[in-house]
Amino acid sequence: MVRHREPIIAIATPYGESAIGMLRMSGAGLWEKVEKHIQLKGKLKPRYAHFFRLMDGDQLLDEGILIYYKAPHSYTGEDMVEMYLHGNPLVLKRALEVFLKEGIRLAEPGEFTKRAFLNGKLDITQAEAVADLISAKTDLARQVALRQLQGELSKHINPLRERLIELLAYVEADIEFAEQDIPTIEKEQLLELLTLIIESIKNLLSTVKAGEFIRRGINLAIVGKPNVGKSSLFNALLGTERAIVTHIPGTTRDFLQEQMHLGGIPINLIDTAGIRQTKDEVEAIGIKRSLSALESADLVLFVVDASNPLEEEDWEVYNLIKQKDHIKVLNKMDLGLDPSMKKIFPDGVCVSAKTGQGMQELKKLMLEKAGVFGYDGMMVYLSVRHGELLRKSLGVLEPLLQRLKVEDLSPEILALELREALSYLDQIVGAITTEDMLSEIFSRFCIGK
């Protein structure tokens, strides 16, 4: 089962001075190559920490700790060596060169994990989770990645695959025993099973957006005509005095960006320039840039000055964003609400950027709108790749169900369609892989993992 590929090496710790730096190697015939360059006290024992000296010819390079893992009991499933040396880039570079000269090649990003996958140590969703875990920006993202590393996502996908395989078995029996009088699946039952599978896929798909937000964060743009309190709101959300606030309309000439965390979700907060018609050239440039920032926003806070009636300029901005996911923020409530306000925007949230009133409610609403409110990390979150494959599967199964409701299909056609739907689920867990898919997944990794 385990294939032994040519030996590879990488520095697995970050570049720079540190207490310890680690060199990692994996592959066939590794020990013979390593042995030539080290002095070891006592006999080598797999998975034991050995004190050792690293030699470059007869010159001492460093001393440290070495662990040897014998296949298949290692991360990659191959023979592996880990060397813990002094964490100076010069030391690690010299050590690396010794082994490169020995014919051990430099590992590509994610190559260790790729081998672990190819040797059946991890399924592909777990391998993806390794990269997610390393790059997680918040504690929630870390927890989600860890759960996926434990195989949580496959636990949701595999039962679906099994149901499809079961269905396929019935249909194929139908083909094989067409002539004989063997009872096969009833149409009723077929429709029922298909509906069930489709529902489960849809359920999983509903986590894709939230999963994206947890992994990469939410782009949240604050928009509105000048002087409604966008910059004040930006500061109130961040809890700092980052953006310049003045009472002269058009002060924010460009857009400002700051990172914040809300309920474990990274949020990229964008304060746009007041969007309006202007003759001022500099302001016009700012507005243009604001509009493009708006385009990449996942969620928009549309701010109005609720203490005054709305003006034409408010509607101009509103028309720009009304198609996007947005929250209507009725600001300056401390000055009293204009009576028209609750009629025009009954779903608006009243706040005061000045006094902080309503800010908690606004924050909660932001998470609700993004579909990530109250998730305590008990769920799985699909990545874009998983989402695409599930959607492809659905793209086969849904039309199939519709057709089956109105006509009878030959078992041959049925089997063909089911097999296609299954192949997409297989790709999610890596039961089927393509070279493109693997290189895309593993190129996201850092070297040494």
- Which residues does the annotation place in the binding site? 24, 82, 121, 227-232, 246-252, 271-274, 449
Sheet holding 105-106, edge to edge: 38-40, 49-56, 59-69, 80-87, 18-26, 8-11, 105-106
3-class secondary-structure state, position 41: coil
Minimum distance, C-beta of residue 322 to ligand GDP, in the bound complex (Å): 19
Contact residues: ligand GDP, CB under 6 A: 224, 226-232, 245-247, 251-252, 274, 331-332, 334-335, 352-354
Tell me which residues in 211-230 interact with Zn ion (CB under 5 A).
230
Partner that binds at residue 96, options Zn ion, ligand GDP, none, CB closer than 5 to 8 Å by kind: none
> Of all residues in this chain, which one has the CB nearest to ligand GDP in the complex?
229
Instruction: Indicate the residue among 76 and 331 with the shorter CB distance to ligand GDP.
Output: 331
334 token code pair: 């401390």
Residue at token pair 């507005």: 287
Instruction: Indicate the residue among 175 and 285 with the shorter CB distance to Zn ion.
Output: 285
Partner that binds at residue 259, options Zn ion, ligand GDP, none, CB closer than 5 to 8 Å by kind: none
Residues tagged in the binding site annotation for GTP: 227-232, 246-252, 271-274
Minimum distance, C-beta of residue 277 to Zn ion, in the bound complex (Å): 17
Q: Which one of residues 154, 219, 231, 383 is an interface residue with Zn ion (CB under 5 A)?
A: 231
Minimum distance, C-beta of residue 227 to ligand GDP, in the bound complex (Å): 5
Helix (H) / strand (E) element for 158: namely: helix 152-176
Q: How many residues bind Zn ion (CB under 5 A)?
A: 3
Residue 331 contacts Zn ion per CB under 5 A? no
384 token code pair: 């874009």
Minimum distance, C-beta of residue 314 to Zn ion, in the bound complex (Å): 15
DSSP 280-345: -HHHHHHHHHHHHHHHT-SEEEEEEETTS---HHHHHHHHHHTTS-EEEEEE-GGG---TTHHHH-
Residue 252 contacts Zn ion per CB under 5 A? yes
238 token code pair: 């961040």
Q: Report yes or no: 67 and 22 within 8 Å, Cβ to Cβ.
A: no
First vs last C-alpha separation in the chain:
22
Q: Report yes or no: 396 and 201 within 8 Å, Cβ to Cβ.
A: no
3-class secondary-structure state, position 438: helix
Residues tagged in the binding site annotation for (6S)-5-formyl-5,6,7,8-tetrahydrofolate: 24, 82, 121, 449
Residues tagged in the binding site annotation for K(+): 227, 246, 248, 251
Listed in order, strand segments (DSSP E) in 142-231 are: 218-223
Instruction: Indicate the residue among 246 and 296 with the shorter CB distance to ligand GDP.
Output: 246
Q: 156, 193, 198: which is closest to 171 by C-alpha?
A: 193
Instruction: Indicate the residue among 64 and 224 with the shorter CB distance to ligand GDP.
Output: 224
Minimum distance, C-beta of residue 363 to Zn ion, in the bound complex (Å): 20
Residues tagged in the binding site annotation for Mg(2+): 231, 252
Partner that binds at residue 359, options Zn ion, ligand GDP, none, CB closer than 5 to 8 Å by kind: none
Question: Which residues contact Zn ion (rule: CB under 5 A)?
Answer: 230-231, 252
